[in-house]
Amino acid sequence: MENSKRPLNGVKVVELATFVAAPCCARFLCDLGAEVIKVEPFKGDPLRYTAVNEGRPAGELENTSFDLENAGKKCVCLNTKSKAGREALEKLIAGADIFITNWRQNALERAGLDYETLKKRYPKLVFGIVSGYGEKGPDKDLPGFDFTSYFARGGILGTMFDKDSLPMATIPGFGDHQVGMNLAAGILAALYRARETGVGDKVVASLFHAAIWDVAIMLQGAQYGHPSTQYPISRKHMANPLQVAHKTKDDRWLQIAVPSYDAYYPKFMEEVFGRPDLVGSEKFYPQSALQANLEIFYEILREGFAQKTAAEWTELLAKADLPFAVAKTWNELLVDEQAWASDCFYAMEYPTGATRTLVRPPVIFDNAGLPPYTRGPYLGEHTEAVLAGLGYSQEQIQAMIAEGEAKPYKPE
């Protein structure tokens, strides 16, 4: 795909961020055609060193997690606390359209990299920041990861599980990817305005707010106090049992989704479930009457779904044109025909000789086509090239390296 067809061709982004949320935002902009320069300290982004968590080989040669969040970027290693390193960072920001960071407010202010300081020098700059809890309030300076700010504090871990069971096992990157795309949406709007008016803006996205947005329907419903909204609750007491996953004869979980219970109950019972005798039941229809008989109806569904395999239920539900899905494991998803056909995945060949499945960001443009999926940069891989692009001579670059102000890539 030609870079000229990508919507952000010519846009320059400087990223001063670690882990997932902010870097995945910058990676998405890179996929859209922006030039993204990732500024890292000499030790590198900690995401480079999480191999044990994902069960993959250590080292940079097959780093699927880092590649997922940093594909296509350039990496420059700078000691931003040194005079020359800071000057190089300033030159990068001066030439950028967008600056993305996840540093906390106090650290940004101490370094003179907060928005109020930068906008005086670069009024057109779009400043995107990810935080745990936002820019205001008593907890604005707390550290935050998606395990804490998103899952726990954001009302997911404490609610979205069966009351008779245990909270879910959280996974890294889940909330980060939500907030990263939220930030990207805001940045693109601010960039449009900056191009139109010459005035930049600060775009704030937090893990905490992203979680609240994600649970908003039930969160708002909880204020009315109805037992069906006071999560965690037992699956037997869900206000709409046709929104619950049920176990099939072959021990698969089948998720059905019939949000408009009254509209589809008759069709479901007759065409799918094989119980036309219950179509006119005053106990279970309409949904307002069902609320007094939730446990009874749940048991009918539980026993019924256990009589057929997932494949048999799939055939019935597909014929009735009702939404459903068998709950897939990750290993099944990696070979899912629909996922590959709809360009969710990319087969990445690594220097180790392995070919691994990597995930693409979930936005695809028809005219621009699929962006190339290149690996993330090795630590310091583009240090010399980036500095040369800023106007530094080879003598100056080598002097910075010798003085510990910049660091080039050193192969393993």
235-250: pLDDT as tens digits: 999 999 999 999 999 9
Query: Residue 2 has what pLDDT?
Result: 59
Q: How many CB atoms lie within 10 A of CB 25?
A: 34
* Residues with Cβ within 8 Å of residue 392, at least 6 apart in sequence: 88, 400
Contact 1, 369 (CB under 8 A): yes
Q: Tell which CATH architecture fits domain 3-214+343-407.
A: 3-Layer(aba) Sandwich (3.40)
Which tokens sit at 371?
């962006």
Mean pLDDT of 260-272: 96
* 327-330-334-336 Cα dihedral, nearest 10 degrees: 0
**Does pLDDT of 1 surpass 70?**
no
Q: What is the mean pLDDT of the chain?
A: 95
Q: Where are the domains of the chain?
A: 3-214+343-407, 233-247+253-326
144-163 pLDDT tens trace: 999 999 999 999 999 989 98
Report in angstroms the alpha-carbon separations of 119 from 15, 25, 127.
16, 21, 9
CB neighbourhood size of 237 (10 A): 15
Please state, for a pLDDT cut of 70, what percent of the chain lies above it.
99
Q: Which of 94-108, 122-136, 160-174 has the lowest mean pLDDT?
A: 160-174
Residues noted as catalytic: 176
* b/e map 96-129, b = 16+ CB within 10 Å: bbbbbbbbbeeebeeeebbbeebbeebebbbbbb
Condensed to tens digits (0 to 9), the pLDDT of residues 189-236 reads 999 999 999 999 999 999 999 999 999 999 999 999 988 899 999 999
Using DSSP, state whether 83 is helix, strand or coil. helix
Phi–psi pair at 407, nearest 5 degrees:
-135, 125
Q: Report strand pairing: 324-326 vs 253-256.
A: antiparallel
Mean pLDDT of 339-362: 96
User: DSSP assignment, residue 291?
Assistant: G
Of 321, 299, 317, the C-alpha closest to 308 is: 317
Q: Which DSSP category does 286 fall into? A: S
Taking only the tens place, the pLDDT of each residue in 73-120 is 999 999 999 999 999 999 999 999 999 999 999 999 999 999 999 999
Average pLDDT over residues 114-135: 97
Instruction: Give the confidence band of 346 by pLDDT, cuts at 50, 70, 90.
Output: very high
Beta bridge mates, 39:
76
Q: pLDDT of 4-46, one tens digit each?
A: 789 999 999 999 999 999 999 999 999 999 999 999 999 999 9
DSSP state of 328: -
Going across the sheet that includes 253-256, the strands are: 245-247, 253-256, 324-326
Give the pLDDT mean for 316-328.
96
Residue pair 383/389 in contact by the 8 Å Cβ criterion: no
Contacts of 73 (CB under 8 A, 6+ apart): 15, 26, 27, 30, 36, 37, 38, 376, 377
Q: Which two tokens stand for residue 230?
A: 């006071």
Binning pLDDT at 50, 70 and 90, where does residue 278 land?
very high
pLDDT at 164: 86
Q: Which of 359, 19, 38, 27 is nearest to 207 (CA)?
A: 19
